[in-house]
Amino acid sequence: MAELRWILVVIGLAVLGGVYLWSRRRGSSQRDESAETRVEPRLDHDEDWPQPDPLLDSPPDIETASGVTGLLFEDLPVPQAEAVEPPPEVPPEKILVVPIRAMRERGFPGPDLVAALELEGLTYRDPGVYVQVSDQGQTLFTVANMFEPGSIPREAPEDFVTRGVTCFMVLPGPANAETLARMVSLARRLASRLAGEVLDEALSTLTNQRATHMREEVIEYQRRSQIAASDY
């Protein structure tokens, strides 16, 4: 009985060893087959891999972003601020002069000069000048001695003489282009009465052309003054 028991034990151990070796061999075979059938991932695009959609996967180009093909944002035109013109300035004071120079060497005798000025309806005012006034009493233009001290004594003594007088008008003021025409006409009458010569601001003979230019200067001055006044 003891021998039979040992025989059965040996047979059982042999069976268990065979089962163990068979299971080990089968597991190793399955691992080899799995290794053979496994697909390694590849970096290059394969036909089996899905291809990217150019409409969905591609980044937006410049045309989609800005509406202008090939135009970068830094190339886009930068709106420039509109230049603001400064308000027109009030023109500075302007003085128009019409001198009258005596043609005779002895000059204008004082009594003759005063008589001619008063005959033209000019008004005497201190400090020794004659003025043409408007109906409102405003000074339109002035006649003064061309030489120092610039005054014309109303009660001129017999020995008072001057080589010339100056008619002038100041802008801005009540004077206008018509005032200038009146002043030039008066200067020519005085020159005719006193034997004198009407000059311009450069002490050259006053021509009709220069008188026309002076009139245009007055008109332009008043136009600029009106524009400047309308902006304030």
The per-residue b/e assignment along 17-36, b for 16 or more CB within 10 angstroms, e otherwise, is eeeeeeeeeeeeeeeeeeee
Alpha carbons 146 and 141: distance in angstroms, whole number: 15
Residue 112 lies in a domain: yes
The pLDDT mean for the chain works out to 79
Contacts of 124 (CB under 8 A, 6+ apart): 118, 130, 154
Cis, bond preceding 87 (omega within 30 deg of 0) = no
Between residues 90 and 114, the one the model is more confident about: 114
Residue 49 lies in a domain: no
pTM, full prediction: 0.62
pLDDT score for 206: 97
CATH number at residue 184: 3.30.1400.10
Residue 47 lies in a domain: no
Residue 98 lies in a domain: yes
Q: Which helix (H) or strand (E) holds 65?
A: helix 62-66
Between residues 213 and 49, the one the model is more confident about: 213
Give the mean model confidence (pLDDT) for residues 194-215. Answer: 97
Question: How many structural domains are present in the chain?
Answer: 1
Alpha carbons 126 and 132: distance in angstroms, whole number: 14
Residue 22 lies in a domain: no
Domain of residue 166 covers: 94-230
Tell me which residue has tokens 């043409």. Answer: 132
Alpha carbons 47 and 2: distance in angstroms, whole number: 72
Alpha carbons 20 and 14: distance in angstroms, whole number: 10
Residue 51 lies in a domain: no
Residue 79 lies in a domain: no
Residue 173 lies in a domain: yes
